[in-house]
Structure 1
Amino acid sequence: MTGKLTVIVGPMYSGKTSELLSLIEIYTLGKKNYLVFKPAIDVRYSEEHIVSHTGLKAPAIRVSDSIELFEIFKEKQGSLDAVFIDEIHFFEADIIQVIEKIIYSGVNVFCVGLDMSYKHRPFITTAQIMGIADEVIKKKAVCHICGEYKAVVSYRKVEETDSEIDVGGMEKYIAVCRDCYSKLTGKFKQ
């Protein structure tokens, strides 16, 4: 029997990692075997844990790319029930084939990541993973400007680089709704 792919997406501060941590807790309580991965680039709060913005955390294996993730998975493959991957948007497109191999081996996969960059453009890796998912959970956040629970975009407050891959927290990013994003950037004005 194949595994199931669940993808949790949304802007920063929408509770994506908190939801992933809740799913990890369910597998822990059920005495299931699993692996938790995070991209090596993400060292914001911890190098050895995935950590929510509220401080909840779980031990994780840092990997530099999808090849390393798959090598670790293959070592444990026969005994696993699930694989959890945080910050999926930081992985290269090859992660899609790795996830497919994992789910076709009978292991459930749970991925969390941003669906859009601060430039209001889809992260290609996340979009493609959403396309093959069994279930997509799209979260939103409270807008840091107007206070409404309709934020779907991460807005970068500081211009350090033009790169869409730029790890940071509240010092760099806030969650905003489309109306406030348009006001802040001048884009999409009617």
Structure 2
Amino acid sequence: MLLTIFEKNNEMNKYSVVFMPDLQTIEAVKQMKLLLADKIGWFNSKNSLAHFTIFEFFEDDLQEDKFCAQLDRIASEIKSFNMQCDAFDWFNNGAFYIKPNEVSATKMTELMKQVLKESTQIKKTITNTNPHLSISRRLSPEKLEITKQLFTKINLEFAVTNLTLRKFDENLKQFTVYKEFPLLGKPKEIQGSLF
């Protein structure tokens, strides 16, 4: 019995660290996904809430306090920021997404790199520094064509105020929001020097 409890505590969880837009934008993207599902049926990432993936990793419960403390510190030293997304685009693998304008993309790319560089205690499995809000993933060429015709114009403006930790839910088979770390814009902590 003791062994099972220990095993349960040491199960590896799958996590994802992301920037998420405000609730209004999350709802707008959700409505686009529902509209697309009416046209083409189910698709990958249909039920996923709008987010910009920074990285994914596996870790057990025992490490959670440690990596959450690091994410909290990283977030506290980033200032909340505004994003503007004004185009649709797609990748060759069938992903269709909402694209930030150049200024917003540059800003978020810098912040993604900062989060990746400073999250030193986390072994990452997937990393990303190309900001995009996915509507769908892995579409067939035919379904991608329908999607391109359905969505042609977009203009979203929103603030990003948290670094978000999502956890994979085995029952839902998708990531759900687990913890949020506010972007506070505090001055960076100076590491103690020997002199």
Q: TM-score, normalised by structure 2?
A: 0.30
Q: Which has the higher helix share?
A: 2
Q: TM-score, normalised by structure 1?
A: 0.30
Larger of the two Rg values belongs to structure: 2
Q: Which has the higher strand share?
A: 2
